[in-house]
């Protein structure tokens, strides 16, 4: 199995600056995306700090297995998922402290989604309304639950999903990085199989492009970078009301045949 990925971020058609940020570590198969919020450039600062902190924390943990966790360890989760949740809590602390020490950045915050793939096990951790989806054999499922007012209303039965899609309250978050000293992080795990495609995205995609359109694009565009480019283009074609960022990760079958065996032999593997 080969893990291949593509990513793209874009300012959109309306906003003047891009408050989205993303980082990937192809060697660790670690993917992080954040959507910032705050006046002037504060949102951009918050999202950049979020992704850099998460990547750095996980890279250090990969080198030092004894690196302390930030926050409480959850026994039902793997070491990887606990580490990812720890990284998000650490990012929350850094954004909160940075905002507290700089009056111009007061109130800044960010959403975040992160995915870490090790031995087919996908560990997820998120805060806010940026999302992770899984496309498997034609089925397209959201793996994360939005931390937003309308999502809470839908879960409680007060609002329908259709009403939520057009609600003026869509942008009201119930949880974000940096707005409080401590934050509750949702973490989960999935076992992936060959052929799966994982999508991380900011709400600049999901508010402009429907789930069926997203799924169809991923199904018909097997190359992850081309799929990421096409999804961003679709968001802009549909209005581009917000910054849009996507990361596409695909689990492709390992190449077989004579040339594939020869390449593996040249690389020193059987």
3-state per-residue secondary structure call for 179-242: CCCCCCCEEEEEECCCCCEEEEECHHHHCCCCHHHHHHHHHHCCCHHHHHHHHHHHHHHCCCCC
What would the pLDDT profile of 43-80 be if each residue is shown by its tens digit? 999 999 999 999 999 999 999 999 999 999 999 999 99
Q: Which residue has the higher pLDDT, 176 or 264?
A: 176
pLDDT at 161: 87
Closest CA to 180 of 83, 84, 108: 108
**CA 157, CA 154: separation in Å to the nearest integer?**
5
Residue 263 is predicted with a pLDDT of 60
pLDDT of residue 227: 98
Stretch 171-191: mean pLDDT: 96
Answer whether residue 201 shows pLDDT above 70.
yes
34 compared with 264, residue with greater pLDDT: 34
Strands 186-191 and 139-142 come out as unpaired
Listed in sequence order, the residues at least 6 apart from 36 whose beta carbon sits closer than 8 Å to its beta carbon are 19, 20, 21, 42, 43, 44, 45, 46, 47, 48, 50, 108, 109, 110
> Where are the chain's structural domains?
2-266
Query: According to the model, what pLDDT value does residue 269 have?
Result: 47
The confidence score (pLDDT) of residue 188 equals 97
The model's pLDDT over 6-57, given as tens digits with 9 standing for 90+, comes to 999 999 999 999 999 999 999 999 999 999 998 666 999 999 999 999 999 9
Kindly indicate the confidence band of residue 264, based on its pLDDT and cuts at 50, 70 and 90.
low
Mean local confidence (pLDDT), 80-92? 98
CB 246 within 8 A of CB 228: yes
Write phi, then psi, for 187 (nearest 5 degrees). Answer: -130, 150
pLDDT of res. 262: 65
* CA–CA distance, 55 with 37 (Å, rounded to integer): 20
Instruction: Please check the confidence at residue 159 and state whether its pLDDT lies above 70.
Output: yes
Segments in the chain forming alpha helices (H): 42-63, 79-100, 149-155, 161-166, 203-206, 211-220, 224-237, 258-266
Does 118 score more than 90 pLDDT?
Answer: yes
Check if the beta carbon of residue 22 is closer than 8 Å to that of residue 5: no
In angstroms, the CA 142 to CA 140 distance is 7
- Any idea which residue has 């989205």 for tokens? 20
For residue 56, give the 3-state DSSP assignment: helix
Fold of 2-266: Phosphatase 2c; domain 1 (3.60.40)
């Amino acid at each position: 199995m080969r893990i291949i990925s593509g990513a793209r971020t874009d300012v959109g058609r309306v906003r003047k600056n891009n408050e989205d940020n993303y980082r990937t570590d192809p060697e660790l198969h670690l993917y992080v995306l954040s959507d910032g919020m705050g006046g002037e450039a504060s949102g951009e600062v918050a999202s950049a700090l979020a992704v850099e902190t998460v990547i750095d924390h996980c890279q250090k943990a990969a080198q030092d297995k004894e690196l302390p966790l930030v926050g409480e360890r959850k026994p039902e989760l793997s070491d990887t998922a606990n580490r990812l949740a720890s990284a998000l809590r650490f990012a929350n602390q850094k954004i909160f402290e940075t905002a507290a020490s700089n009056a111009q950045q007061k109130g800044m915050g960010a959403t975040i989604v992160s995915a870490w793939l090790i031995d087919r096990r996908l560990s997820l951790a998120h805060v806010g309304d940026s999302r992770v989806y899984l496309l498997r054999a034609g089925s397209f499922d959201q793996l994360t639950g939005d931390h937003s007012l309308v999502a809470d209303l839908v879960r409680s039965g007060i609002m329908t999903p259709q009403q939520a899609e057009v609600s003026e309250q869509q942008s009201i978050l119930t949880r974000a990085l940096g707005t409080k000293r401590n934050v509750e992080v949702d973490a989960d795990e999935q076992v992936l199989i060959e052929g799966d495609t994982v999508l991380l995205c900011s709400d600049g995609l999901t508010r402009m492009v429907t789930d069926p359109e997203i799924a169809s694009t991923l199904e018909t565009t097997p190359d992850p970078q081309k799929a990421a480019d096409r999804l961003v283009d679709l968001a802009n074609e549909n209005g581009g009301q917000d910054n849009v960022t996507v990361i596409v990760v695909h689990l492709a079958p390992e190449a077989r045949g004579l040339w594939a065996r020869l390449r593996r032999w040249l690389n020193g593997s059987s």
